[in-house]
């Protein structure tokens, strides 16, 4: 008999957090943490929670995560785009300006995964080896989805499909966390852009 697995997904819109004034960021982070607990964990009690548009940021010289895992869960993030590798001013200058970030402060966005701490995991290629548990590092495979040169807009923004392998009783469970992009001017009344965006995501 197959296990009953509950999976939830949440787009955190972390870029809005990065655009928030420094004085308001602490309150917003606390609000997001409460929302994570109340709306996702307490309400649905998921075994897995796939999170999109997480952000990692440097404040006062310390790199931090927007997500703090609630009690009973582990968390790991994967960065798709950041100021270290794709520091295009079209992407990051408006964010730095709105959030009043230091010019050299690290900023990044990507996907995250929370899972129940009692669920063992393994690398995706290891079907017989030792199982790892919370705190031992989830060995994920991050498959990059690039269109080529990043020129600062959504049309060329890199994305990730992050694959994780868990062992549930005698079952191998693979979680793929994928966040696909929308194009510039898509969903703004331009049917040809809507069709092109749908075609790209299907591919």
- Structural domain total, the chain: 1
Residue 12 lies in a domain: yes
Residue 63 lies in a domain: yes
Alpha-carbon distance values, 187 to 157, 190, 197, 202 (Å): 17, 7, 9, 16
Tens of each residue's pLDDT in the chain, 203 residues: 667 899 999 999 999 999 999 989 999 999 999 999 999 999 999 999 999 999 999 998 999 999 999 999 999 999 999 999 999 999 999 999 999 999 899 999 999 999 999 999 999 988 877 788 887 889 999 999 888 899 998 889 999 999 999 998 888 999 999 988 888 888 899 899 999 889 988 88
Residue 183 lies in a domain: yes
Domain region containing 15 = 7-202
Residue 114 lies in a domain: yes
Residue 173 lies in a domain: yes
DSSP letter at 27 equals H
Residue 1 lies in a domain: no
CA-wise closest residue to 50 among 173, 176, 182:
176
Cα-atom radius of gyration of the chain, to the nearest Å? 18
Residue 20 lies in a domain: yes
């Amino acid at each position: 008999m197959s296990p009953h697995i509950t999976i939830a997904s949440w787009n955190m819109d972390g870029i809005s957090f990065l655009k928030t004034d420094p004085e308001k960021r602490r309150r917003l982070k606390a609000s997001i943490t409460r929302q994570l607990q109340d709306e996702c964990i307490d309400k649905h009690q998921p075994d897995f929670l796939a999170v999109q548009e997480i952000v990692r940021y440097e404040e006062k010289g310390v790199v931090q995560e927007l997500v703090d895992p609630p009690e009973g869960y582990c968390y790991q993030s994967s960065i798709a785009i950041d100021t270290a590798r794709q520091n295009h001013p079209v992407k990051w200058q408006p964010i730095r300006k709105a959030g009043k970030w230091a010019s050299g402060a690290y900023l990044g966005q990507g996907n995250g995964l929370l899972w129940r701490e009692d669920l063992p995991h393994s690398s995706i290629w290891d079907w017989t080896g030792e199982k790892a548990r919370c705190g031992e590092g989830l060995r994920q495979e991050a498959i990059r989805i690039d269109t080529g040169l990043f020129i600062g807009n959504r049309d060329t923004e890199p994305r990730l499909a992050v694959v994780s392998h868990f062992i549930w009783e005698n079952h191998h469970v693979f979680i793929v966390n994928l966040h696909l992009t929308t194009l510039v001017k898509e969903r703004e009344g331009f049917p040809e852009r809507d069709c092109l965006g749908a075609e790209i995501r299907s591919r």
